Structure 1
Protein backbone atom coordinates (compact mmCIF):
# COMPACT_ATOMS: atom_id res chain seq x y z
CA UNK A 1 0.00 0.00 0.00
CA UNK A 2 1.24 3.47 -0.85
CA UNK A 3 2.40 5.21 2.30
CA UNK A 4 0.33 8.23 1.27
CA UNK A 5 -2.90 6.26 1.18
CA UNK A 6 -5.17 7.17 4.07
CA UNK A 7 -7.52 4.53 5.41
CA UNK A 8 -10.57 4.73 7.62
CA UNK A 9 -12.69 1.92 8.97
CA UNK A 10 -16.39 1.45 9.58
CA UNK A 11 -18.04 -1.10 11.85
CA UNK A 12 -21.57 -1.91 10.74
CA UNK A 13 -23.80 -1.93 13.81
CA UNK A 14 -26.87 -0.28 12.33
CA UNK A 15 -29.21 -3.23 11.89
CA UNK A 16 -32.29 -4.24 13.85
CA UNK A 17 -30.90 -7.68 14.88
CA UNK A 18 -34.36 -9.23 14.68
CA UNK A 19 -32.99 -12.76 15.12
CA UNK A 20 -31.44 -11.67 18.40
CA UNK A 21 -34.72 -10.38 19.84
CA UNK A 22 -33.87 -6.88 18.58
CA UNK A 23 -30.93 -6.59 20.96
CA UNK A 24 -28.19 -4.29 19.71
CA UNK A 25 -25.64 -6.90 18.65
CA UNK A 26 -22.61 -4.69 18.98
CA UNK A 27 -23.39 -4.17 22.65
CA UNK A 28 -24.13 -7.81 23.46
CA UNK A 29 -21.43 -9.40 25.62
CA UNK A 30 -19.29 -12.17 24.13
CA UNK A 31 -16.64 -13.75 26.35
CA UNK A 32 -16.88 -10.84 28.76
CA UNK A 33 -16.63 -8.01 26.22
CA UNK A 34 -19.12 -6.15 24.01
CA UNK A 35 -18.98 -7.68 20.55
CA UNK A 36 -18.09 -4.41 18.91
CA UNK A 37 -14.90 -4.22 20.99
CA UNK A 38 -13.44 -7.09 18.94
CA UNK A 39 -14.06 -5.18 15.71
CA UNK A 40 -12.51 -2.01 17.14
CA UNK A 41 -9.43 -3.94 18.25
CA UNK A 42 -9.02 -5.40 14.76
CA UNK A 43 -9.46 -2.10 12.92
CA UNK A 44 -7.80 0.53 15.07
CA UNK A 45 -4.13 -0.42 14.41
CA UNK A 46 -4.39 0.08 10.64
CA UNK A 47 -6.72 3.06 10.14
CA UNK A 48 -6.67 6.75 10.95
CA UNK A 49 -10.26 6.70 12.21
CA UNK A 50 -12.83 4.07 13.17
CA UNK A 51 -16.45 4.98 12.49
CA UNK A 52 -19.21 3.12 14.29
CA UNK A 53 -22.33 2.97 12.13
CA UNK A 54 -25.27 2.76 14.54
CA UNK A 55 -28.91 3.80 14.36
CA UNK A 56 -29.81 3.37 18.03
CA UNK A 57 -28.05 3.47 21.42
CA UNK A 58 -25.86 6.23 20.02
CA UNK A 59 -24.67 7.44 23.42
CA UNK A 60 -23.63 3.93 24.45
CA UNK A 61 -21.58 3.51 21.28
CA UNK A 62 -19.90 6.89 21.81
CA UNK A 63 -18.41 5.50 25.02
CA UNK A 64 -16.01 3.42 22.89
CA UNK A 65 -14.19 6.62 21.96
CA UNK A 66 -14.75 6.73 18.20
CA UNK A 67 -17.18 8.76 16.05
CA UNK A 68 -20.67 7.30 15.76
CA UNK A 69 -22.47 7.87 12.47
CA UNK A 70 -26.01 6.96 11.50
CA UNK A 71 -27.53 6.12 8.13
CA UNK A 72 -28.67 9.03 5.99
CA UNK A 73 -32.26 7.79 6.35
CA UNK A 74 -34.10 6.22 9.28
CA UNK A 75 -35.45 3.25 7.32
CA UNK A 76 -32.71 0.70 8.19
CA UNK A 77 -31.59 0.31 4.57
CA UNK A 78 -28.93 -2.30 5.23
CA UNK A 79 -25.13 -2.44 5.12
CA UNK A 80 -24.70 -0.23 2.06
CA UNK A 81 -26.41 2.67 3.83
CA UNK A 82 -23.86 2.42 6.62
CA UNK A 83 -21.00 2.20 4.14
CA UNK A 84 -22.26 5.31 2.33
CA UNK A 85 -22.52 7.25 5.58
CA UNK A 86 -18.91 6.35 6.39
CA UNK A 87 -17.75 7.38 2.92
CA UNK A 88 -19.40 10.77 3.39
CA UNK A 89 -17.70 11.32 6.75
CA UNK A 90 -14.30 9.78 6.06
CA UNK A 91 -11.27 11.86 5.17
CA UNK A 92 -9.59 8.86 3.60
CA UNK A 93 -8.80 7.20 0.29
CA UNK A 94 -9.89 3.73 1.36
CA UNK A 95 -12.58 2.47 3.71
CA UNK A 96 -12.30 -0.90 5.47
CA UNK A 97 -15.73 -2.36 6.23
CA UNK A 98 -16.52 -5.02 8.84
CA UNK A 99 -19.65 -6.06 10.76
CA UNK A 100 -20.00 -5.75 14.53
CA UNK A 101 -20.85 -9.42 15.09
CA UNK A 102 -17.80 -11.33 13.82
CA UNK A 103 -15.45 -11.46 16.81
CA UNK A 104 -12.82 -13.74 15.24
CA UNK A 105 -11.56 -11.19 12.68
CA UNK A 106 -8.07 -9.90 13.47
CA UNK A 107 -5.95 -7.00 12.30
CA UNK A 108 -3.87 -9.20 9.97
CA UNK A 109 -7.00 -10.22 8.05
CA UNK A 110 -8.01 -6.62 7.48
CA UNK A 111 -4.47 -5.68 6.49
CA UNK A 112 -4.61 -8.43 3.86
CA UNK A 113 -7.79 -6.89 2.41
CA UNK A 114 -6.19 -3.46 2.36
CA UNK A 115 -3.00 -4.62 0.67
CA UNK A 116 -4.79 -6.79 -1.90
CA UNK A 117 -6.93 -3.87 -3.02
CA UNK A 118 -3.86 -1.66 -3.43
CA UNK A 119 -1.72 -4.30 -5.17
CA UNK A 120 -4.47 -4.97 -7.72
CA UNK A 121 -5.44 -1.29 -8.04
CA UNK A 122 -9.04 -2.42 -7.60
CA UNK A 123 -12.04 -0.39 -6.56
CA UNK A 124 -12.99 -2.98 -3.97
CA UNK A 125 -11.39 -5.96 -2.27
CA UNK A 126 -13.88 -8.49 -0.90
CA UNK A 127 -13.19 -11.45 1.37
CA UNK A 128 -13.60 -15.00 0.02
CA UNK A 129 -13.58 -18.10 2.24
CA UNK A 130 -13.00 -20.64 -0.53
CA UNK A 131 -16.70 -21.24 -1.08
CA UNK A 132 -18.42 -17.87 -1.03
CA UNK A 133 -17.83 -14.15 -0.86
CA UNK A 134 -18.33 -12.24 2.37
CA UNK A 135 -19.56 -8.87 1.09
CA UNK A 136 -19.46 -7.03 4.42
CA UNK A 137 -15.71 -7.62 4.76
CA UNK A 138 -14.36 -5.07 2.30
CA UNK A 139 -11.72 -2.53 1.44
CA UNK A 140 -13.30 0.14 -0.78
CA UNK A 141 -12.01 3.22 -2.55
CA UNK A 142 -14.00 6.17 -1.25
CA UNK A 143 -14.20 7.55 -4.79
CA UNK A 144 -17.00 5.00 -5.30
CA UNK A 145 -19.29 7.15 -3.15
CA UNK A 146 -21.21 8.52 -6.15
CA UNK A 147 -21.78 5.05 -7.56
CA UNK A 148 -23.12 3.88 -4.21
CA UNK A 149 -25.34 6.93 -3.77
CA UNK A 150 -26.90 6.36 -7.19
CA UNK A 151 -27.42 2.66 -6.49
CA UNK A 152 -29.23 3.35 -3.22
CA UNK A 153 -31.23 6.22 -4.74
CA UNK A 154 -32.48 3.73 -7.32
CA UNK A 155 -33.99 1.66 -4.51
CA UNK A 156 -31.35 -1.06 -4.62
CA UNK A 157 -30.03 -2.57 -1.38
CA UNK A 158 -28.10 -5.79 -2.12
CA UNK A 159 -24.39 -5.53 -1.44
CA UNK A 160 -23.47 -8.33 -3.85
CA UNK A 161 -25.33 -6.68 -6.73
CA UNK A 162 -23.54 -3.38 -6.17
CA UNK A 163 -20.19 -5.16 -5.97
CA UNK A 164 -20.90 -6.87 -9.28
CA UNK A 165 -20.97 -3.42 -10.90
CA UNK A 166 -17.51 -2.55 -9.56
CA UNK A 167 -13.93 -3.46 -10.39
CA UNK A 168 -13.34 -5.80 -7.47
CA UNK A 169 -10.75 -8.36 -6.43
CA UNK A 170 -11.42 -11.36 -4.21
CA UNK A 171 -9.09 -11.99 -1.28
CA UNK A 172 -8.61 -15.64 -0.41
CA UNK A 173 -9.05 -16.68 3.22
CA UNK A 174 -9.83 -20.32 2.44
CA UNK A 175 -7.20 -21.49 4.92
CA UNK A 176 -9.21 -20.06 7.83
CA UNK A 177 -12.89 -19.68 6.85
CA UNK A 178 -13.95 -19.77 10.50
CA UNK A 179 -12.88 -16.14 10.95
CA UNK A 180 -16.09 -15.08 9.21
CA UNK A 181 -18.40 -16.75 11.72
CA UNK A 182 -20.93 -14.19 12.84
CA UNK A 183 -23.35 -14.32 15.74
CA UNK A 184 -27.00 -13.86 14.83
CA UNK A 185 -28.89 -15.54 17.66
CA UNK A 186 -28.57 -16.03 21.39
CA UNK A 187 -28.21 -19.77 20.74
CA UNK A 188 -25.19 -19.16 18.51
CA UNK A 189 -23.79 -16.83 21.13
CA UNK A 190 -24.08 -19.47 23.84
CA UNK A 191 -22.47 -22.15 21.66
CA UNK A 192 -19.52 -19.97 20.69
CA UNK A 193 -19.01 -18.71 24.23
CA UNK A 194 -17.84 -22.15 25.30
CA UNK A 195 -16.10 -23.51 22.21
CA UNK A 196 -12.32 -23.60 22.17
CA UNK A 197 -12.04 -24.07 18.41
CA UNK A 198 -11.52 -20.39 17.70
CA UNK A 199 -9.60 -17.72 19.52
Structure 2
Protein backbone atom coordinates (compact mmCIF):
# COMPACT_ATOMS: atom_id res chain seq x y z
CA UNK A 1 0.00 0.00 0.00
CA UNK A 2 1.43 3.35 -1.06
CA UNK A 3 1.78 6.05 1.57
CA UNK A 4 -0.15 9.10 0.34
CA UNK A 5 1.81 11.53 2.50
CA UNK A 6 5.29 10.13 1.97
CA UNK A 7 7.60 11.53 -0.69
CA UNK A 8 10.57 9.70 -2.10
CA UNK A 9 13.27 11.91 -3.57
CA UNK A 10 15.73 10.70 -6.17
CA UNK A 11 18.86 12.51 -7.32
CA UNK A 12 19.82 11.46 -10.83
CA UNK A 13 23.56 10.84 -11.05
CA UNK A 14 23.53 7.86 -13.37
CA UNK A 15 24.66 9.35 -16.69
CA UNK A 16 27.89 9.02 -18.61
CA UNK A 17 28.63 12.77 -18.80
CA UNK A 18 30.08 12.44 -22.30
CA UNK A 19 30.53 16.22 -22.65
CA UNK A 20 32.61 16.25 -19.48
CA UNK A 21 35.01 13.59 -20.65
CA UNK A 22 32.99 10.89 -18.87
CA UNK A 23 33.75 12.37 -15.44
CA UNK A 24 31.13 11.56 -12.82
CA UNK A 25 29.27 14.85 -12.60
CA UNK A 26 27.83 14.37 -9.14
CA UNK A 27 31.32 14.01 -7.69
CA UNK A 28 32.83 17.04 -9.41
CA UNK A 29 33.57 19.87 -6.98
CA UNK A 30 31.64 23.14 -7.14
CA UNK A 31 32.86 25.76 -4.68
CA UNK A 32 34.67 23.02 -2.78
CA UNK A 33 31.74 20.61 -2.46
CA UNK A 34 30.67 17.70 -4.71
CA UNK A 35 27.76 18.74 -6.92
CA UNK A 36 25.56 15.97 -5.53
CA UNK A 37 25.83 17.47 -2.04
CA UNK A 38 23.88 20.53 -3.20
CA UNK A 39 21.07 18.31 -4.46
CA UNK A 40 21.02 16.44 -1.15
CA UNK A 41 20.74 19.74 0.74
CA UNK A 42 17.83 20.82 -1.48
CA UNK A 43 15.99 17.50 -1.25
CA UNK A 44 16.32 16.67 2.45
CA UNK A 45 13.71 19.08 3.88
CA UNK A 46 11.10 18.03 1.30
CA UNK A 47 11.24 14.23 1.21
CA UNK A 48 10.66 11.40 3.65
CA UNK A 49 13.09 9.11 1.83
CA UNK A 50 16.10 10.05 -0.29
CA UNK A 51 17.78 7.91 -2.94
CA UNK A 52 20.77 8.55 -5.17
CA UNK A 53 20.62 6.95 -8.62
CA UNK A 54 24.17 6.17 -9.74
CA UNK A 55 25.66 3.60 -12.10
CA UNK A 56 29.35 4.26 -11.38
CA UNK A 57 31.44 5.04 -8.32
CA UNK A 58 28.80 3.47 -6.08
CA UNK A 59 31.02 3.44 -2.99
CA UNK A 60 31.80 7.14 -3.40
CA UNK A 61 28.10 7.97 -3.50
CA UNK A 62 27.40 5.73 -0.50
CA UNK A 63 29.72 7.98 1.53
CA UNK A 64 26.98 10.64 1.52
CA UNK A 65 24.91 8.40 3.79
CA UNK A 66 21.88 7.75 1.56
CA UNK A 67 20.84 4.58 -0.29
CA UNK A 68 22.37 4.33 -3.76
CA UNK A 69 20.34 2.59 -6.45
CA UNK A 70 21.45 1.65 -9.96
CA UNK A 71 19.44 1.29 -13.16
CA UNK A 72 17.76 -2.01 -13.95
CA UNK A 73 20.05 -2.38 -16.98
CA UNK A 74 23.71 -1.56 -17.52
CA UNK A 75 23.13 0.28 -20.80
CA UNK A 76 22.86 3.85 -19.42
CA UNK A 77 19.33 4.39 -20.72
CA UNK A 78 18.93 7.95 -19.52
CA UNK A 79 16.94 9.77 -16.83
CA UNK A 80 13.81 7.64 -17.16
CA UNK A 81 15.78 4.53 -16.25
CA UNK A 82 16.82 6.17 -12.98
CA UNK A 83 13.27 7.37 -12.37
CA UNK A 84 11.92 3.85 -12.90
CA UNK A 85 14.46 2.37 -10.49
CA UNK A 86 13.43 4.89 -7.84
CA UNK A 87 9.74 4.13 -8.41
CA UNK A 88 10.43 0.43 -7.92
CA UNK A 89 12.18 1.17 -4.60
CA UNK A 90 9.59 3.62 -3.31
CA UNK A 91 6.63 3.00 -1.01
CA UNK A 92 5.52 6.62 -1.43
CA UNK A 93 2.78 8.03 -3.63
CA UNK A 94 5.03 10.82 -4.94
CA UNK A 95 8.51 10.66 -6.43
CA UNK A 96 10.41 13.96 -6.49
CA UNK A 97 13.18 14.07 -9.09
CA UNK A 98 16.14 16.34 -9.70
CA UNK A 99 19.54 15.93 -11.37
CA UNK A 100 22.83 15.99 -9.49
CA UNK A 101 24.20 19.01 -11.35
CA UNK A 102 21.90 21.93 -10.51
CA UNK A 103 23.51 23.50 -7.43
CA UNK A 104 21.29 26.61 -7.36
CA UNK A 105 18.04 24.65 -6.84
CA UNK A 106 16.74 24.85 -3.27
CA UNK A 107 14.18 23.09 -1.10
CA UNK A 108 11.47 25.71 -1.55
CA UNK A 109 11.58 25.31 -5.31
CA UNK A 110 11.23 21.54 -5.08
CA UNK A 111 8.38 21.90 -2.59
CA UNK A 112 6.46 23.89 -5.20
CA UNK A 113 6.54 20.89 -7.53
CA UNK A 114 5.15 18.59 -4.86
CA UNK A 115 2.48 21.07 -3.77
CA UNK A 116 1.32 21.82 -7.32
CA UNK A 117 0.97 18.14 -8.22
CA UNK A 118 -1.11 17.50 -5.12
CA UNK A 119 -3.22 20.66 -5.47
CA UNK A 120 -4.09 19.82 -9.08
CA UNK A 121 -4.37 16.07 -8.42
CA UNK A 122 -2.12 15.65 -11.46
CA UNK A 123 -0.03 12.67 -12.48
CA UNK A 124 3.01 14.88 -12.90
CA UNK A 125 4.21 18.38 -12.03
CA UNK A 126 7.12 19.54 -14.17
CA UNK A 127 9.25 22.67 -13.96
CA UNK A 128 9.06 25.15 -16.83
CA UNK A 129 10.91 28.36 -17.50
CA UNK A 130 10.47 30.65 -20.47
CA UNK A 131 8.08 28.15 -22.07
CA UNK A 132 10.71 25.43 -21.90
CA UNK A 133 10.17 22.24 -19.95
CA UNK A 134 12.86 21.05 -17.59
CA UNK A 135 11.66 17.45 -17.43
CA UNK A 136 14.20 16.13 -14.93
CA UNK A 137 12.78 18.49 -12.31
CA UNK A 138 9.45 16.90 -11.53
CA UNK A 139 7.08 15.36 -9.03
CA UNK A 140 5.43 12.23 -10.39
CA UNK A 141 2.90 9.66 -9.23
CA UNK A 142 4.77 6.40 -8.57
CA UNK A 143 1.72 4.45 -9.80
CA UNK A 144 2.98 5.18 -13.33
CA UNK A 145 5.86 2.73 -12.91
CA UNK A 146 4.22 -0.06 -14.92
CA UNK A 147 3.60 2.31 -17.82
CA UNK A 148 7.18 3.56 -17.58
CA UNK A 149 8.55 0.02 -17.65
CA UNK A 150 6.60 -0.66 -20.84
CA UNK A 151 7.75 2.63 -22.40
CA UNK A 152 11.41 1.84 -21.76
CA UNK A 153 10.98 -1.78 -22.87
CA UNK A 154 9.66 -0.46 -26.21
CA UNK A 155 13.02 1.25 -26.75
CA UNK A 156 11.84 4.80 -26.12
CA UNK A 157 13.88 7.12 -23.88
CA UNK A 158 12.62 10.70 -24.30
CA UNK A 159 11.28 12.12 -21.04
CA UNK A 160 8.97 14.73 -22.60
CA UNK A 161 7.31 12.14 -24.85
CA UNK A 162 6.57 9.91 -21.88
CA UNK A 163 5.22 12.77 -19.76
CA UNK A 164 2.95 14.00 -22.57
CA UNK A 165 0.69 10.98 -22.05
CA UNK A 166 -0.39 12.07 -18.58
CA UNK A 167 -2.26 14.77 -16.70
CA UNK A 168 0.65 17.15 -16.26
CA UNK A 169 0.72 20.49 -14.49
CA UNK A 170 3.54 22.91 -15.28
CA UNK A 171 5.17 24.92 -12.52
CA UNK A 172 6.55 28.21 -13.81
CA UNK A 173 9.99 29.25 -12.60
CA UNK A 174 10.33 31.97 -15.24
CA UNK A 175 11.39 34.55 -12.67
CA UNK A 176 14.36 32.38 -11.68
CA UNK A 177 15.91 30.92 -14.84
CA UNK A 178 19.26 30.58 -13.10
CA UNK A 179 17.86 27.66 -11.08
CA UNK A 180 18.30 25.48 -14.14
CA UNK A 181 21.95 26.35 -14.62
CA UNK A 182 23.42 22.89 -14.80
CA UNK A 183 26.85 21.55 -15.54
CA UNK A 184 27.43 19.71 -18.80
CA UNK A 185 30.93 20.95 -19.58
CA UNK A 186 33.89 22.21 -17.60
CA UNK A 187 33.32 25.64 -19.16
CA UNK A 188 29.77 25.69 -17.76
CA UNK A 189 31.12 24.73 -14.36
CA UNK A 190 33.62 27.57 -14.45
CA UNK A 191 30.92 30.01 -15.58
CA UNK A 192 28.64 28.96 -12.73
CA UNK A 193 31.49 29.37 -10.25
CA UNK A 194 31.79 33.01 -11.38
CA UNK A 195 28.05 33.66 -11.06
CA UNK A 196 27.61 32.26 -7.58
Do Structure 1 and Structure 2 share a fold, with TM-score over 0.5? Answer: yes
TM-score tier, shorter chain, comes to over 0.9
Contact 2:4 2:94 in 1 (8 A): no
Which residue in 2 is equivalent to 1:93? 93
Show the 5 A alignment for 1:9-48. Answer: 9-48=9-48
Does residue 170 in structure 1 map to residue 170 in structure 2? yes
Which residue in 1 is equivalent to 2:53? 53
1:131 positional shift = 2.4
Which residue in 2 is equivalent to 1:160? 160
Q: Which runs of 5+ in 1 are unaligned?
A: none
Distance 1:97 1:4 in 2: 17
Give the match's secondary structure for 1:5.
Answer: strand
Show the 5 A alignment for 1:1-199. Answer: 4-196=4-196
1:169 positional shift = 0.5
| Count of residue pairs the alignment pairs up | 194
Per the normalisation by structure 2, the TM-score is: 0.97
Distance 1:47 1:108 in 2: 12
1:4 positional shift = 4.9
Per the normalisation by structure 1, the TM-score is: 0.95
| Greater strand fraction, Structure 1 or Structure 2 | 2
Q: Which runs of 4+ in 1 moved over 6 A?
A: none
Contact 2:78 2:157 in 1 (8 A): yes
Q: Any idea what the Cα deviations from partners look like across 1:58-87, whole Å, max 9, x if unmatched?
A: 000000000000000000000000000000
Distance 2:148 2:71 in 1: 13
